[in-house]
Amino acid sequence: MALEAPRKNIVIVGTSVLMSSLHTCTSQHKANPSSSFTGGGIIGCTTAYFLTRHPLYSPATHKITILEATSIAAGASGKAGGLLALWAYPACIVPLSYRLHEELAKEHDGAKRWGYRQIYCGSVDCTGKVRERKGGKGVVADGEGREWNKLPKTKGGSIKKGRGDVPSDLDWLDGDTVKEYSVMGTPDTTAQVHPLLFTTSMADLAVSSGASIVLGKVTSINSSSSSVQSVTYTEKATQEVKTLEATDVIISAGPWTSKVFPAAPIEAMRAHSVVIKAEVAPYAIFSEIALPKGFNRTGGQGVETRRHGLSVSPEMYARPDGTVYACGMCCVLSSHSTYREFG
Ligand SMILES: Cc1cc2nc3c(=O)[nH]c(=O)nc-3n(C[C@H](O)[C@H](O)[C@H](O)COP(=O)(O)OP(=O)(O)OC[C@H]3O[C@@H](n4cnc5c(N)ncnc54)[C@H](O)[C@@H]3O)c2cc1C
């Protein structure tokens, strides 16, 4: 009579542990593994997805749990740009990632489900222009953001020739301001997803194959001298402290990883993004914009005055859902800096 192997609980905390946990699951824990994932970002959710697609996976013998403090894709995974490029870095993983995205989109109708599409990409060097606001002097914002909600489309043909190779269908650059345009990618080398929709879809697909999601903040990973035993977390809905048995833990808590696993050398980087309603041509644009003199140094009523450098360099990606996503990197946070704490 065959002995029944013990069930396994795997907790994912951080990407560095990811590969060893996958290896552990596939080669050593062939029977009854249970996996718990800490962090419901793109790493945790895609890991859960791919584990549920593994030939040795069976919901009868494997328990996979995504433990997420806030909500699926609450961190960078829900706010990222979602640009995919064969010309991105690191070169050792980019071709695999790019191909996987293409395959996943084909298999699960990613075009409809998470906005997967091939896209043009370029970089533009231009001079910023202060737009005149209806009934007022040229200002940057109206205090309630109304004028900023819509990106103006430039009328066909308004982009002047001789200013680099600005494509004629790129309808959302003011040609008068462009100093130089260069092609970075074409639909053969560049694509995009809507990261929030992609991450939540991966979670949904993992759940439909037997994984489960628990909303709770992990406070400790408990181990014996030889192996991990359990994960303690505070359940979001009840604030009760609970413990989940774990045979394997995969940490995927993004910049919070070192809070649950201090040995992980993961730094946080601050970045901000906005999403603007606008139906524009499918381009991702990396920009360098020289700001007009005095830009935003004098705010109108209720407008906060800000001091910028002499130029800004937002990345802007048109999305198929009639929006444009824009983001800019800020700085690496030191260990003394604060960033949003999950509670
Ligand atoms: C502005 C911006 C733009 C970007 N653009 C792109 C892009 O175009 N293309 C690209 O490939 N990448 C891009 N990135 C990078 C990409 O978003 C990240 O590399 C990726 O989302 C990281 O995913 P993650 O799962 O590791 O972490 P996260 O998305 O940070 O997920 C971590 C999760 O862990 C949870 N968590 C934290 N602590 C705990 C705890 N104690 N217990 C339980 N759960 C916890 C959080 O709630 C969060 O949901 C961008 C990033 C930013 C910030």
Atom number in ligand 1 closest to CA 254 = 27
Coil, strand or helix: which one is 93? coil
CA of 77 to the centre of ligand 1 (A): 4
Instruction: Count CB atoms within 10 A of the CB of residue 108.
Output: 18
Task: Please report, in tens digits, the pLDDT of each residue of the chain (343 residues total).
Answer: 444 444 555 555 432 222 223 333 333 444 456 666 667 899 999 999 999 999 999 888 889 999 999 999 999 999 999 999 999 989 999 999 999 999 999 999 999 999 999 999 999 999 988 776 655 444 444 344 444 444 444 444 444 444 557 898 998 888 888 999 999 999 999 999 999 999 999 999 999 999 999 999 999 999 999 988 999 999 999 999 999 988 889 999 999 988 888 888 888 878 889 999 999 999 999 999 998 877 766 555 555 556 667 888 999 999 999 999 999 866 656 554 455 554 3
**Of the residues 43, 267, 283, which should be mutated to test ligand 1's pocket, given the most ligand atoms within 8 Å of the CB?**
43
- Taking CA atoms, 9 is separated from 222, 233, 250, in Å, by 12, 14, 10
Q: Do you know the residue count of the chain?
A: 343
Q: Please calculate the CA angle 98-102-104 and round it to the nearest 5 degrees.
A: 115
CB 21 within 8 Å of CB 10? yes
Which of 256, 285, 325 best tests ligand 1's pocket when mutated (most atoms within 8 Å of CB)?
256
Is residue 29 a contact partner of residue 63, using CB atoms and an 8 Å limit? no
Place of tokens 């070192």: 258
d(CA 57, CA 61): 8
Q: How far is CA 139 from CA 168, 234, 325, in A?
A: 29, 47, 22
Phi, psi of 208 (to 5 degrees): -70, -15
Distance in angstroms (rounded) separating the CA atoms of residues 86 and 99: 9
Q: What is the pLDDT of residue 292?
A: 83
Q: How far apart are CA 181 and CA 126, in angstroms?
A: 9
- To test ligand 1's pocket by mutation, which of 19, 36, 42, 275 has the most ligand atoms within 8 angstroms of CB? 42
Relative to the CA of 317, which ligand 1 atom is closest?
8
The amino acid at residue 15 is T
Query: Across-strand partners of 274?
Result: 326
Atom of ligand 1 nearest to the CA of 74: 49
The tokens describing 117, both together, are 């599409």
**H or E element in which residue 20 lies:** helix 18-23
Angstrom distances, CA of residue 58 to CA of 25, 43, 53: 12, 21, 9
With 0-12 / 13-18 / 19 or more C-beta atoms within 10 angstroms meaning exposed / middle / buried, residue 204 is middle
Q: How far is the CA of 273 from the centre of ligand 1 (A)?
A: 13
Alpha helices in 247-335 (DSSP H): 257-260
pLDDT for position 311: 86
| Residue pointed to by tokens 């791919």 | 50
Residues with Cβ within 8 Å of 139's Cβ and at least 6 positions away in sequence, in order, are 130, 133, 299, 300, 303
Residue whose entry in the numeric block shows the structure tokens 């040229």: 138
pLDDT of residue 195: 97
What is the whole-number distance in angstroms between the Cα of residue 215 and the centre of ligand 1? 17
* Pocket lining for ligand 1, CB < 6 angstroms: 15, 38-44, 67-70, 74-77, 79-83, 217-218, 252-256, 260, 271, 273, 327, 342
Residue 181 sits at the vertex; the CA angle it makes with 328 and 117, to the nearest 5 degrees, is 65
Tell me, in angstroms, the distance from the centre of ligand 1 to residue 303's CA. 31
- The identity of residue 278, as a single letter, is A
Domains and CATH numbers, the chain: 10-77+195-260 (3.50.50.60), 83-113 (no CATH), 118-190+267-332 (no CATH)
* Closest atom of ligand 1 to CA, residue 67: 43
**Could you tell me the two tokens for 275?**
């999403």
